[in-house]
Structure 1
Amino acid sequence: MTKLILTHEVSGLGAPGDVVEVKDGYARNYLVPRGMATTWTKGAAKQVEAIQAARAKKAHDSVEAAAAVRDKIEATRFTVTANSGAGGRLFGTVTSKDIAAAVAEQGGPSIDRRSIEIKQHIKTTGAHMVVVHLHEGITAKLALDVVAA
């Protein structure tokens, strides 16, 4: 087991500044190369405190601000265009990066792609729902229409 300090939120594992223990391969092959975590050392206590202070300051400033963003997201339907074949089947899938870009292009609030949770792969045209984590305990349901390009 490897002890790490998370630098980004990892679904099911923790938030930035948390000290977690994960299997060696998960740390070496996924978390550290993607910049989601750094290895824990004895002198890392200051680093953990700095990350937690930044997280507390940044966390969508307040619950009220996150709730306002949630209301704005849930009041709008967003459209993503993708290449598709016969029957509405997509060539590939719609990713969280595509969704974040579509929201920004259509005048929605700025969303971090890592906060978007796609329950099932989006591989067809039509209406879909995804979840956006805005603050601890505050999530928004984003209505998404996938149309053929």
Structure 2
Amino acid sequence: MKVILLQDVKKIGKLNDIIEVKEGYAKNFLFARKLAKPADQISIQQINIKKAKQSQNKVIETEIAQKNKDILEATTLIIKTKAGDNGKLFKAVSENDIKTQIKVPYKYINFMSPIKNLGEYEVVIKLTEEIEAKVKIKVESE
């Protein structure tokens, strides 16, 4: 039986995928939990139109992300904070501090551990699934 997934289902497929499953599995699990609906010709055509639009949007999104990557990698973010004479910061620089400076969502910043010393660092920001920007951060004393 062909079904259209209404949301991501582990080991089965992703949203709007058209898949072939056994009738019992479809009726007793997927339909009962509103994870899928039966695939008919009209629904399949609508899904194909949606997928075509999504692929066009993805191309545009990738172009924008590439431009943003070039801009982010060309700049150095300077964060000024209080530090002791030995170069150790009184308050560590976290993802939140970087997020407020760059204005990107927290989940996109790939940060190993908070910065606790003065100096230059590199942080990875995930712009799309494929495109990541490496941003240079310079932590200076106030």
Q: Does 1:126 align with 2:125?
A: no
Normalising by structure 1, report the TM-score.
Answer: 0.56
Percent identity over the alignment is: 29
Change (3 A) 1:42 1:69: same
Offset, 1:18: 4.8
Equivalent pairs counted in the alignment come to 101
Is this contact kept in 2: 1:60–1:66, CA < 8 A? no
The corresponding residue for 1:65 is 64
Offset, 1:142: 0.3
- Specify the structure having the higher radius of gyration (Cα): 2
RMSD: 3.0
Structure 2 gaps, min length 5: 1-6, 11-31, 38-50
2:113 partner letter: Q
Offset, 1:59: 6.7
Offset, 1:90: 1.0
Runs of 4+ in structure 1 displaced over 2 angstroms?
A: 17-20, 43-46, 56-61
Normalising by structure 2, report the TM-score.
Answer: 0.58
Residues 35-87 of structure 1 deviation map (CA, whole Å, 9 limit, x = unaligned): xxxxxx923669xxxxxx9xx69879521110000000000001111222221
Find the aligned partners of 2:58 and 2:106 in 1 and give their Cα distance: 15
The corresponding residue for 2:135 is 142
